[in-house]
Amino acid sequence: MTPQARTITELLAAAGAQRFLEAPLTQDLGLSEGLPFPFLALVGQSEMKLALLLSLINPNVDGVLLIGNRGTGKSTAVRSLIDLLPDVDRSLCTYGCLPEDIETGGIDEVCPDCARKYGEGESLVYRDPVQLIELPLNSRLEDVIGGLNSRSGAHHRHRLNRGILARADRNLLYIDEVNMLDDQIVDAILDAAAQGAYTIRRGTLAATYRSRFVLIGSMNPEEGRLRPQILDRFGLRVLVSGLKGKQQRLEAYRRTIAYRANPRQVVRDYAEATARVREELQSAREAVTKLRITKAAERYGLDLINEMGIESLRAEITLFEAARARAAADGRTVAATKDIRAVASIAIRLRRSEFMDDFFKAQGKEQRRLQRVLKQSAPVKKKPARS
Ligand SMILES: [Zn+2]
């Protein structure tokens, strides 16, 4: 590692070059479970790493979908983010009141207790790292949105339980094999993602939970296709293929073996670089809210989208927000055309639907015919009489 390395992109490049040739292959007798492979030790896959980091810097990129075969390291990469997750503000109140509610909607937007605290200059929030919440494939709808806690105690009192979507608030929600998910659950997730909150009703009980999360999905297209609605919900799309080249594969093999033999050592080897990247991510996350994008970069981005014939407005949201996140990662205050170019593939691909193309073509034919019929059947206009 060069001690001068500053930006995340520099740190990533430096960590990627770290060699494992001399990794000690001692047997580690401790428990390795829950000790994720360091993100910085992942070999290659620069698109996947970039997309994941951009989604941590700027939640407005609207999540990441990783598409690829089994064994290409998709879930390893997602789980390895744990040590990099930045801090966020979380509400101290059971109703989830936040200072930003007051800033956007006035003092009546929070509960009386929080209104009083705010007035007295007390904090409504505490700092806590973003968590990685994994949605298990066998989850039931009740686990996802929450439900009645029917553990009948002495008083047979019922309560509502928070579901996974409520726990995912201000966190990362990771769904492996997202294409295999039950339709009902997909709909619940999409609704919550669109609203940033959801309400559950059971009999006379009702509760509304905040649910603003960064959605990360991974899938193997061999195992089933993804519904277009859910594909559209993922901002960045990464095609993850196996490592190319003997050197990279050999290096990946060495790191995996070193990690299996002694995970703690590998994590220790990367601890310092990991801590620095985490710090950089935190400041990039704060800087991105004030970061500008140049007019030229905006024009260039819109031209790309137009050239590619993309209809969905989500394309430019993701493209511009990802460009801003990249500039922040690079320690700049303005996003430029080069940032658009760097994120264009992951922001723009898989946005065109063949079905819609065919549909519009067929509609075009019908429209032309309709115009012809309308013209032929037009009532003859009388010329106004000259005076
Ligand atoms: Zn409150």
Q: What are 329-342's pLDDT values in tens digits?
A: 999 999 999 999 99
309 in a domain, yes or no? yes
Per-residue pLDDT tens digits for 253-286: 999 999 999 999 999 999 999 999 999 999 999 9
Instruction: Please tell me the distance from the alpha carbon of residue 208 to that of residue 168, in angstroms, as a whole number.
Output: 14
149 in a domain, yes or no? yes
User: Model-level pTM?
Assistant: 0.84
CATH number of the CATH domain containing 247:
3.40.50.300
In the listed set 267, 283, 299, which residue is the last one of a domain according to the structure? 283
Is 172 in the same domain as 233?
Answer: yes
pLDDT of residue 32: 42
Which comes out higher in pLDDT, residue 92 or 386?
Answer: 92
**116 CA distance to ligand 1 centroid (A)?**
9
Helix axes 314-329, 337-348, angle to 10 degrees: 130
302 in a domain, yes or no? yes
Give the CA angle between residues 93, 99, 103 to the nearest 5°: 145
In the listed set 233, 259, 283, which residue is the last one of a domain according to the structure? 283
Which comes out higher in pLDDT, residue 129 or 23?
Answer: 129
Is 193 in the same domain as 271?
Answer: yes
**57 CA distance to ligand 1 centroid (A)?**
28
Is 223 in the same domain as 267?
Answer: yes
Give mean pLDDT, residues 49-69. 95
Instruction: Please tell me the distance from the alpha carbon of residue 177 to that of residue 374, in angstroms, as a whole number.
Output: 51
Is 269 in the same domain as 209?
Answer: yes
Is 180 in the same domain as 267?
Answer: yes
Give mean pLDDT, residues 157-178. 87
125 in a domain, yes or no? no
Give mean pLDDT, residues 280-297. 95
Q: End-to-end CA distance of the chain: give it in Å, rounded.
A: 92
**168 CA distance to ligand 1 centroid (A)?**
19
Give mean pLDDT, residues 176-188. 91
279 in a domain, yes or no? yes
Is 348 in the same domain as 238?
Answer: no
H helix runs in 134-182, sequence order = 141-145, 164-167
Is 328 in the same domain as 273?
Answer: no
Is 32 in the same domain as 138?
Answer: yes
pLDDT of residue 189: 92
- Which range of residues forms the domain containing residue 78? 24-86+130-283
Identify residue 82 by its one-letter amino acid code.
I
In the block, residue with structure tokens 């295999």: 180
**111 CA distance to ligand 1 centroid (A)?**
4
pLDDT of residue 30: 40
**211 CA distance to ligand 1 centroid (A)?**
17
In the listed set 261, 283, 305, which residue is the last one of a domain according to the structure? 283
DSSP collapsed to 3 states, 37-81: CCHHHCCCCHHHHHHHHHHHHCHHHCCEEEEECCCCCHHHHHHHH
Average pLDDT across the chain, whole number:
86
349 in a domain, yes or no? yes
Is 252 in the same domain as 135?
Answer: yes
192 in a domain, yes or no? yes
Is 221 in the same domain as 302?
Answer: no
Which of 314, 332, 341, 352 is catalytic? The answer is 314
Ramachandran angles phi, psi of 172, nearest 5°: -95, 135
Share of the chain above pLDDT 90, in %: 54
Instruction: Please tell me the distance from the alpha carbon of residue 305 to that of residue 315, in angstroms, as a whole number.
Output: 7
Residue 215: helix, strand or coil by DSSP? strand
- Number of separate domains in the chain: 2
**177 CA distance to ligand 1 centroid (A)?**
37
pLDDT for residue 24 is more than 60: no
Is-catalytic flag, 268?
no
**382 CA distance to ligand 1 centroid (A)?**
72
96 in a domain, yes or no? no
Q: Which residues surround ligand 1, an ion (CB under 5 A)?
A: 93, 95, 97, 111, 114
Is 189 in the same domain as 338?
Answer: no
Per-residue pLDDT tens digits for 194-229: 889 888 888 888 888 889 999 999 999 888 888 888
H helix runs in the chain, sequence order = 8-16, 46-57, 74-79, 99-105, 112-119, 141-145, 164-167, 183-195, 228-233, 246-261, 263-287, 295-307, 314-329, 337-348, 354-376
Is 198 in the same domain as 331?
Answer: no
**93 CA distance to ligand 1 centroid (A)?**
5
